[in-house]
Structure 1
């Protein structure tokens, strides 16, 4: 029977168990007045939180009348306490708002002055030039023109927003809150000054102000930036009063009507430029004439430069020996001069080039600073001469060694003859004296040939060079000081000239190799000058690449070597 009962009544038993559990949960939550109050508070808080996120506008419209009524009731019941409590806070808030508004105004003015991209900002600058007033003062005066930012129409008692208009839609995000505050503040001011029959008409917010007009049922409030003149105030007052007189409580109100009221007042948009006076146009004409003058002058300079460069390029194209060397033509229009700078291997071709450029621009003075250098063929010829002199020096050394050996043989023979034949000592002595005299004369002749200034300088520079690292124009080679110490005394004593030749390896472009080779030659020339050698004895040359390393180890290619000057170079 128990089993049969359980099978027959199982659904009803389960339902009763669930109902009993649900009842127990409800009893635990709202079974007593305290638990009911707590549960209701939790539900309201959660509902308000969800409504704030999902239905913010509807929640504000629903709560605004209750909040306004509560504020009004509290103000009426505790008027003195509210004044004493709010006055310090309001004072600090107003001070902070005013200070922040001025900071934002100054930052905005500075930003507009710095950009100078609009016609209005250029007009401010021209007014500053003509009037002598600072541009910030003019900008502040221009930006102080009144402009209506938004207009709100609300019910007086509840503070509910009936209609609105805004110049920028972003300004309407907090319209409901502003409407409630305006209604509360208006009601507070009316109750405080009720005995004097006063009514609040303006709220100063620092950067802007709220102008208001009220009827028994409605309040119309507009947010205005800038400074309103008495005429502007009268115009706004007339438009507000006229519109309030046409309204009736309960009648539908559209945003179009509020927009028409907004557009009927303060219609002078500060973005619209005003007419400029005669002084502005005179100044504009003067500036235009000045710009025209400088434009014509620039065109004249461009024409002169184009003619001179055309002549320069044509002459270079007709002279192949010049096209292989860097020659540049520069202009200084302020002083009316031209300058030819660079390297050349033909002085006559350089002179012809200078005459052609001068003829193309006769009104400019031409200065020429072109260094004449030797070509590769001339360098090879001089290198062959050096090798020949070096070979002659080797031959002279061999002759000296042979003579010294011959002298030693003669001395040995004499000594042997003096030991074996004392009777022939006189004849041997005469022979020895004759041979020694001839040998001494020949030695003196060879020494005199090798002791000339040019021979001494050649011997000093033969096989010597200063080497550099990759891409560098300075060196820490310890052998550099020895090279300078070996050559400098001979240059100082003889007064001869020396060619200092810089080389680069095969990496890099020709222009870069020429520049760095030149810088290396200048570095070694400075070492000679520090050793007391005047710059007039040194001729610098740059050869981009002339390998001396057979195994492609380019360390020996990055060098500065030295060459003897020929007779014509010494004369120059």
Structure 2
């Protein structure tokens, strides 16, 4: 309390506002700044920090390194918490900037690769040496005889006699529940019941802890126990245990590897282990880590029992066997390829194949039109003297063989090409009427052919008939525009046509040919299509009447009016109109009876 009756001296602000206090122009303000300016600034800073109640980025940057160092020294929880974030950040960095990551890890990656290659090559050399040792020694032969006698694979016999230790099975067990999380077993071994082993190990561990509890805070851990000829190694962790079933005498390095594997699993699977609810699916990803613990170590430092000379003899014998086996294999491959060619060849059906001591015995069916089997095998470089074959004839319906039979049976001229479409044989080209008539009238068609189509053939007439045919066809009867009347010139031409056609008929009958005459009437483009068609038909009919009166009777003589649908061509429009106001002649000569398009 103040001594002057309890009154407190006014603050500078009160002095400013007091009505009875007389203030100087500048002295009082300066005095106030000197007396309470620094305290006022501190009060304002304290008020600001209380209002924010959080660290500024600058303050966090100053305190973060010390906080990380203190937490890291205390336990590994910070590393486990940051691991997923750092993994995601590293993955993103690799995906976006792989070149930078490659440059960064190059000093580590190179030596690691060289070390891995060196260890792998050393392992390969060690395996080869061990295989040679076991194969070329009396002990190896003894083991092979034992494998043959017992039916056990040779590799297991070697392991049985030369085994130092083998990690056969590794289990990952949840610490709190004792449930099995993951399990791996060495290849070629029958896996023990993993759930049974897990339950047994949990029960034994609880028994040991309950029986030997000394009352202290530290409890004893079950590290190893034996079951028959096998030893179970156990490494315990806060969230999970790892157990390995080992046969033989395991060294301490096995426990060290189990401990390292368990630490890695705790580091990478912290969340699944902490939140485990009975579903072991997330722990399938731990199998590669557990498989690294599976290993087999056999003794390789025992004397072989054989000197250099016996080994060389064994190697030479093996090389001889390998060479002979290679030659036999190549010979078998060559014969197999040759037999595949025979099976793929049309008209050859391989039914039976037997291999004797020095010969092959073949039997099957062979189409007469197929390729000769011996020739096919000889072209492949095989010794046909070692082959005995027996072929029974049959008829193949392969299209290529049907066509080959047709060419052989029908003997077409070089100007005729035969083709097969389904079961119909198509002939195209040019041939004499005699050959065409023989094809049409043939009653014996090749097997596989039901019908023959000769519509694509053009007849080749004998020279005399061809000349008479051209003599008739070169004539043309001209008409005036819109007229059907025949003038004197036209009638004279018809006399020549009648005489020429009669000579053609006489020669044709002597050679067993038949001749027919087609009379074709045309018009120019003047008028409508219907008018032109009727006009052209009238012209053709008139010419046929005149020829019938000239003695051409008893023969196929047809008159057609085509109007302007099938015009004769010319380089001049005027000349083209003139030549189409006409009637022209087409002669058809056939051998014997008239042939149709298709014969069945």
| Superposed pair shares fold, TM > 0.5 | no
Give 1 or 2: higher helix fraction.
1
Higher strand share: 2
Task: Return the index of the structure with the highest Cα Rg.
Answer: 2
Instruction: Name the TM-score class by shorter chain.
Output: under 0.3
